[in-house]
């Protein structure tokens, strides 16, 4: 496991590699971000952006999503995985926003997770990106990178990964670190072909060293 000094170095190196790491889901306001993140489950950001380009032209408010039939909304997001379920959730969360929050997206995680289709990860993304509240959303990239590097344990649950990262990193860096971990995992330390041989963190990475040994072997 990495100690605090090593973790500091790891995060700094990621910052140098990806100084512009940011949320890649296109959105203009908190409501669009909620919809985009809800659509992104088991789906790439690139595909979501392709779909929301037209979607956000057609639907601007929670009322707009309720003004059409479920079938029409399903058709509009058809190219996205689990589109039937996601369309239902979008209509349900739109209804809830109108009934309980005056049509506005709440800025607290505990309120956000009450919305259909919004789990802890989605809520963390929204409070962090839309409202500037320090948070670490653990997606597949964040989990993979944290475990490979030895910041977290292999057996840690997603919630344990989040809590470990929050404990080991300064609060004011949670949000930016979350984006750097995602970029590092998405573009460098990929699931199938991590670029271990050119990785500046190889000396500190338990998984990378194992992989390089196998390569040499």
Provide CB contacts within 8 A for 76, sequence distance 6+: 51, 54, 55, 58
The residue annotated as part of the active site, out of 139, 156, 210, 215, is 139
Annotation marks residue 121 as catalytic: yes
Catalytic residue among 45, 53, 121, 210: 121
Beta strands in 16-92, from DSSP E residues, in sequence order: none
Q: Is 199 annotated as a binding residue?
A: yes
Q: Which of 180, 217, 215, 212 is nearest to 199 (CA)?
A: 212
What whole-number distance in Å separates Cα of residue 116 and Cα of residue 84?
14
> Binding residue per annotation — 196?
yes
Whether 139 is a known active-site residue: answer yes
Q: Which residues are annotated as a binding site for [4Fe-4S] cluster?
A: 189, 196, 199, 205
Question: Residues comprising the binding site?
Answer: 189, 196, 199, 205
| Residues assigned a catalytic role | 121, 139
């Amino acid at each position: 496991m990495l100690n605090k000094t090593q973790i500091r170095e790891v995060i700094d190196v990621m910052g140098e590699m990806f100084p512009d790491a940011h949320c890649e889901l296109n959105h203009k306001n908190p409501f669009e971000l909620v919809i985009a993140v809800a659509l992104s489950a088991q789906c790439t950001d690139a595909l979501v952006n392709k779909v929301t380009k037209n979607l956000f032209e057609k639907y601007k408010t929670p009322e707009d999503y309720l003004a059409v039939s479920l079938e029409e909304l399903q058709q509009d997001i058809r190219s996205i995985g689990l589109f039937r379920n996601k369309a239902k959730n979008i209509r349900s969360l739109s209804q809830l926003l109108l009934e309980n929050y005056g049509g506005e997206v709440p800025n607290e995680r505990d309120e956000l997770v009450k919305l259909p289709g919004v789990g802890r990860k989605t809520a963390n993304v929204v409070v962090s990106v839309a409202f500037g509240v320090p948070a670490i959303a653990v997606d597949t990239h964040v989990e993979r990178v944290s475990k490979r590097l030895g910041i977290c344990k292999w057996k840690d649950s997603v919630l344990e990964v989040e809590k470990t990262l929050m404990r080991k990193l300064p609060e004011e860096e949670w949000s930016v670190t979350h984006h750097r971990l995602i970029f590092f995992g998405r573009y460098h330390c990929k699931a199938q072909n991590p670029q271990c041989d050119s990785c500046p963190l190889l000396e500190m990475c338990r998984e990378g060293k194992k992989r390089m040994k196998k390569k040499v072997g």
